[in-house]
Each structure stands twice: as C-alpha cells, then as structure tokens.
Amino acid sequence: MRWLLLNVQNRLRFAARNPGYAVKSLVRDLTFADERFIGKATGRAARIIRGFVDEPSNHVEFLNHLRRSEEDFSRAKITSADLYAKRVLLQYAAIRALRPELVVETGVANGISTSYLLFALHQNKRGVLHSIEIGDSTYLPPGRKTGWAVPEWLRERWQLHLGDARIMVPELLAQLGTVDVFIHDSLHTYEHMKFEFEQAYPHIRPGGLLISDDALWNSSFQEFAQQVRAPLARILRGVGYLRK
C-alpha cells in the first residue's frame, strides 16, 4: 500500500481532524473491503484489484508527472482534491479490471481523474476515453486550459468534447451507441445527476459500469440504483459504483 505514503502529511492532518473516518478507512484498507466490491462488480479477485490500486504509485513516469503538477495546483484559486486519494485509485482499478473499449466521462477540469482513467487504458493497451467538459476555468490555475494535467504520452486514447453536458451527453451517446463505462463528474445537482444517469444507462452494456463522483452530495445515485434494480451498487469513498 505504497499509495498511503504519498502526500502523507496531508493524510495525517486529515486523520487528526477526522479520527473516526480515518480509523474506518484504515479498517477498510486492511480488510480489502473496497477491493472486494470492485472485484464483484468486474469479475476479478480482490487481491488483483489491490494490485491495480497500487500500480500508479509504482509507475515512475506517471508518479513524477503528478508531482510536477502539484506545483501548478498551488497557484489555483481553489484547493485541489488529493491527487493520490483512494477514491481515484479505485476508479483506476475498476477500469483496469473491466478492460473497457469505450469510456465516457463528464467533467474534466484540470484532468487528474482523466489522467488516471487514461493511464488505466494505457496499461490495458486498449480502449478510448471520451470526455465532455463545459470549459469552466474556476478550478484551473492561471493560464491553464481544460485538461492541462493530462500528460502528452496518454493523450492518444483521449477525445475531448467541449460543450454543455445537457446537449452533448445525448448526442455523444447516440453516436457511440453502446459504452462499457459512464462516469459522472460534472455538475453535482440532484437534477443534473439524474439527467446524466437516465441518459447514460440505456447505452451501458450489460455488465458495464455507471460511476458517479460525489455520490453523497444528494440522493440521486441511491434513488437511481433502486429505480433500475441494479444487482450491484455501492458508494465507496464518496464515489458511486453501479453494475448494469
């Protein structure tokens, strides 16, 4: 679990402020709780999922790129999320395990999550990521463009679509037909999240995944999982995973 040692000072400060959550998270790590669920959702053993979780922190080129990106994040108006958080590592592991051909995500901003997704496709040696982003510069460091944190060597499997998700999600999904994974990470309102889920679900292949960042912000993910009677659905580290 080398990833636990990355950004260790911030992790310790967070644990001091949130001791109950930190203890529960450590227990989940020691018991492979998150990995066991991702394994069920993707048909892989929990130990294999844990191996995937550990990969980014053991890849020198990818890890060095993240560390260089931290300097730019220090100049942004809004504090960025943890670049090495397990919430993004679990999404990486899910993509590694499922080995999708087509992945669609909404919301790119700086491109950290996008980088992890593309790195997973790179490691799989297959798949394309379509990203939809409205182009809001609020979360970007001065002078940086959408997706600036995505390294050049990962961009060959990436297609970026700039525009409003309410228009582009239906259009892109109609064009692609069937996708393996859909990831919501754009506007986290109840109405917008339900809109994206309802648009995406019919296009996800059986056995594919619907993933929602910040699934605890409102009840949309839980309600949608009940609505479609998903065989497997759970929120891990604030991210919702639903298997079709």
- CA distance linking residue 119 with residue 39, whole number of Å: 19
pLDDT tens-digit map of 160-178: 999 999 999 999 999 999 9
Bridge partners for 235 per DSSP: 240
pLDDT tens-digit map of 185-238: 999 999 999 999 999 999 999 999 999 999 999 999 999 999 999 999 999 999
What's the pTM value of the predicted model, to 2 decimals? Answer: 0.94
Which structural domain range is residue 55 located in?
A: 2-243
pLDDT band with cut points at 50, 70 and 90 for residue 141: confident
pLDDT tens-digit map of 68-77: 888 777 766 5
Q: Quick one: which of 102, 107, 117, 5 has its CA closest to 52? A: 117
- CA distance linking residue 46 with residue 181, whole number of Å: 20
pLDDT (mean) for 87-101: 98
pLDDT band with cut points at 50, 70 and 90 for residue 15: low
**pLDDT averaged over every residue in the chain:** 92
Q: In CATH, what number is assigned to the domain containing residue 173?
A: 3.40.50.150
- CA distance linking residue 182 with residue 195, whole number of Å: 13
Position 102 pLDDT exceeds 70: yes
Count of the separate structural domains present in the chain: 1
Helix count and strand count (H, E) for the chain: 10, 7
Bridge partners for 182 per DSSP: 104, 210
